[in-house]
Amino acid sequence: MGFVRSDESKKMEIEELKRMLVACAAVHRRKDEEEFKGARNNINNVPKEIGGDGEEKLVCVTSGVSFLGLAIVNCLLLRGYAVRILIDHRDREELRELMRRTCSNSVSVVTAKLTEADDLTAAFEGCRGVFHTSALADPAGLSGYSKSMAEVEVKTTENVMKACARASSVRNCVLTSSLSACIWRDGPLQDLSSPVINHESWSDESLCIDKKLWYALGKLKSEKNAWKLAEENDFKLATICPGLVTGPDFIQRNSTATIAYLKGAQEMYADSLLATVDVTRLAEAHLCVYEAMNKTAFGRYICFDRVIASEDEAENLAKEMGMPASKICGNAHDHIPCPFELSNRKLTSLMSSTLGRCYTESLSE
């Protein structure tokens, strides 16, 4: 869910995509050889049809070269999907040449502006599903996440939802929101309906404005508008609200979203609400929800695999990001747990029932 990409982070994303596509090409070559010999490997093999109607299993990933976007694309390829990566014009020629030389049958690139609903409609046409990772670039190239960026994100998400409704082929959309859209609630604990924060919890908009939590505000308003548009246009939507997204080199490759998410980190830590999720596990959750949308999946899902609950954990996280631990846990030496509780039981249950024990073990309740 990266928002501002430095030249270094952009190069890292392109290099990661290159490695992924080369690996994809190797998988396809092995598959072709096995089929020629009459052998079939059923691991990760998914039929190329949906619902028996003969349509190719094609989905679109917006900002497909972002930190999360790449992980979702890789996960989809391993499950046998054909993937259309939506990018801006800056990366177009390099990526298209890369597709030509690797696994062009499984991955294609389309250029579209997230600010133009008509562009997005054309980009989505032919795709059965859309993964909107809520990634966008700050045109000013500034670090951080401002109030104006929150407004741009809301408008961008509205455009994606309108395009999903207009594109005749699109049936389902999975939107990446944020745990920050759930945890910022106003008032003392005793006045709140429940100390448990789960998929039914929403942050308070006025509180986000008062605290200048623009990242949380952008995610909150984007998600609420998305649900309104999905209901008005009668198409299926599911949203995933992840904690701080981590993984290899996450601070370099996802710097703006990381910094923006951690505004208010001391308060989140004190309330036992500072949670993280590995980018690969988050991508798997996206795919799991998408594949279950025609059966049991619905609504919102909270996704995390760790809650930062001790100073040692806070120090380790701060070390990964190259910042003082005090930025996360303050100057307190003894952390007194708050009675708030994060729950992702809904997602854990879904992944347990649809994709097996390996996912259950990777997600905490």
> Cβ of 108: how many Cβ atoms within 10 Å?
16
Nearest 5°: the CA angle 218, 220, 226 is 95
Helix (H/G/I), strand (E/B), else coil: 301: strand
Helix (H/G/I), strand (E/B), else coil: 49: strand
CB distance 58 to 82 below 8 Å: yes
CB distance 64 to 13 below 8 Å: no
Cross-strand bridge partners of residue 86: 62, 110
CB distance 72 to 131 below 8 Å: yes
Does the active-site annotation cover 236?
A: no
Q: Is 316 left (phi over 0), alpha (psi -120 to 50) or beta?
A: alpha
Choose the catalytic residue: 10, 155, 219, 319. 219
> Cβ of 353: how many Cβ atoms within 10 Å?
14
Nearest 5°: the CA angle 13, 15, 19 is 115
Known catalytic residues?
A: 219
